[in-house]
Amino acid sequence: LDSVFVFPTNQPKPVSVRVTAATGPVKGELKVAAPHGWEVSPASIPIDLKAANAEMVATFTVKPPDQNSEGSLRAIASIGGHDYSLERVRISYPHIGVQTLMPSAEAKLVRADIRKKGEYLGYIPGAGDDVPESLKQIGYSVKMLSEPEITAKNLAQFSAVVLGIRAYNTQERITNWFPELLAYVKEGGVAVVQYNTLSDLKTNQFGPYPLEISRDRVTDENAPVRVLEPNNPLMNNPNKISATDFDGWVQERGLYFPNKWDAAYTPILSCNDPNEKPLDGGLLVAKSGKGFFVYTSYSWFRQLPAGVPGAYRLFSNLLSLGK
């Protein structure tokens, strides 16, 4: 069972549950319990496992309500008159040995109005994040890109290209292909660069115009976010962003915010921890030729896998620029 399922419309989605026999043969039935207003079919699926460690995957269809809703989906195995709803998580490190955890077999359900433009995204990996899987949740098709695929001609097929977290720190040959990314933008593409750190940078060119990053961060996930450019497309198209879209964020607002940038960049948001100076560099957008370049240090890599609706809505706006 995945940890989060995001429904951008009222269209149903398949949800799969893996069932493993712990000690021996198992017969029974599997159900998934959803919150009021959500529909699950079929009502149950038979379990028939022949031996210990045998596995099966059962797929249900989950239909969300028409209106916004959040809740939990719980997998329940009914065997011999008893209900079981535990997940088995194995953690294995040399210094602690093998530990088996048995958390509740639950997933978060999110129904939110998340509109998008464009269909096909390119993703250039950085240090590793779950953003590509998150973007698939709202209907994007995502292609992971290796260096030979990063040419302006090949990138032209994508409505937007996203760089994973710390790509400027981990992509050893970024100076070779970065000009191709900028050429793609000039021809009408959209590039979205997520945060990088100051240590071990592989390039000094952060975008089509000069930009410098700092160690500035906003660690309070509830820190107020001020909109500097309320009429900018990033705040309006295709999702109209409001203060509520910054509710429910997890762990932090962002990190390694730029502190110097060329006048070609427009700062969109301002934020700061209590009693700290305002940081205006967390979301910068620049027009370059026919396209757009976005540098953003807000923590999308935390918010999207956590199913934060407003983060999805705003990130979708980044990807939809110019469309």
Residue-wise pLDDT for 198-208, tens only, equals 999 999 999 99
HEC string of 14-41 equals EEEEEEECCCCCEEEEEEEECCCCCEEE
Tell me the whole-structure pTM to 2 decimals: 0.93
Nearest Cα residue to 312 out of 73, 4, 71: 4
State the pLDDT at residue 97. Answer: 72
Q: Kindly state the helix (H) or strand (E) to which residue 285 belongs, with its residue range.
A: strand 283-288
Nearest Cα residue to 117 out of 241, 250, 238, 245: 238
Q: How far apart are CA 58 and CA 32, in angstroms?
A: 10
Q: Any idea how long the chain is?
A: 323
Query: What tens digit of pLDDT does each residue of 220-236 get?
Result: 999 999 999 999 999 99
Q: How far apart are CA 304 and CA 283, in angstroms?
A: 16
State the pLDDT at residue 86. Answer: 85
B/e letters for 230-247, b = 16+ CB within 10 Å, e = fewer, are: eebbbbebebebeeebbe
Q: Strand ranges (DSSP E) for 113-178? A: 120-124, 141-144, 160-163
Half-sphere exposure of 249 (CA within 13 A, CB side): 27
How far is residue 154 from each of residues 146, 161, 163, 187, 310, measured CA to CA in Å? 12, 11, 16, 12, 31
Q: What is the mean pLDDT of the chain?
A: 95
Any idea which residue has 């592989």 for tokens?
202
Whether residue 136 is predicted with pLDDT greater than 60 in this model: the reply is yes
Q: Which residues contact 47 (CB under 8 A, 6 or more apart)?
A: 19, 26, 27, 28, 29, 30, 56, 58, 77, 79
Residue 34 · residue 60 · CB < 8 Å = no
Nearest Cα residue to 195 out of 65, 318, 299, 275: 299
Q: Kindly state the helix (H) or strand (E) to which residue 101 belongs, with its residue range.
A: strand 97-101
How far is residue 60 from each of residues 34, 42, 63, measured CA to CA in Å? 11, 6, 10
- Percent of the chain past pLDDT 70, that is, above it, reads 97
Whether residue 1 is predicted with pLDDT greater than 70 in this model: the reply is no
DSSP for 169-184 reads HH-TTHHHHHHHHHHH
Q: How far apart are CA 280 and CA 213, in angstroms?
A: 12
Strands 4-7 and 106-111: parallel
Whether residue 105 is predicted with pLDDT greater than 90 in this model: the reply is no
State the pLDDT at residue 89. Answer: 65
Q: How far apart are CA 230 and CA 4, in angstroms?
A: 30
State the pLDDT at residue 90. Answer: 65
